Amino acid sequence: MGRGLIVATLALLGLLCAAGMGYGAYVVSRGSVAVPVTRLQEAPQSLTPSQVRATARAKAAKAKARKRARRTTTRTVAPPPPPPPTTTVDDHGGDRHGGGGSGGGGSGGGRHGGDDD
């Protein structure tokens, strides 16, 4: 019971400190942070010069005509043939050094050149 009372007291003390700091900040800055209320003018509707607007309209019309022309023309293209199957050939026979056979020192090794005495 004593531990819970200490936690509740500290929580209440923290809230009071936070409220005190907020009020202090308000008192200090109440006259200096104000934003005046102003009414903005309505934006003009045509900011772009008329020559630029005419050029933009002409480009848009051309693009629309090209798009319309593409829709009416259809082409059928055959897909490319599949690539031929690939085969893998193992030339080494599993030996890292390129020799074949067992290499057991008899007459079959041949590459190692050891004495057979």
Q: Measured between alpha carbons, how far is 17 from 24 in angstroms, rounded to an integer?
A: 10
CA 29 to chain centre: 44
Instruction: Note the residue count of the chain.
Output: 117
User: Of 88, 90, 113, 110, whose CA–CA distance to 99 is shortest?
Assistant: 110
Residue 100's CB: how many other CB atoms inside 10 A? 14
Confidence at residue 6, expressed as pLDDT on a 0 to 100 scale: 94
High-pLDDT (> 70) share of the chain, %: 62
Q: pLDDT-based confidence at 28, cuts 50/70/90?
A: confident
Contact of 62 with 55, CB cutoff 8 Å: no
Confidence at residue 104, expressed as pLDDT on a 0 to 100 scale: 52
Position 57 pLDDT exceeds 90 = no
Mean pLDDT computed over every residue of the chain = 75
Q: What is the pLDDT of residues 65-91, one digit of tens each?
A: 888 777 665 677 788 888 888 877 766
Region 97-102: what's the mean pLDDT? 54
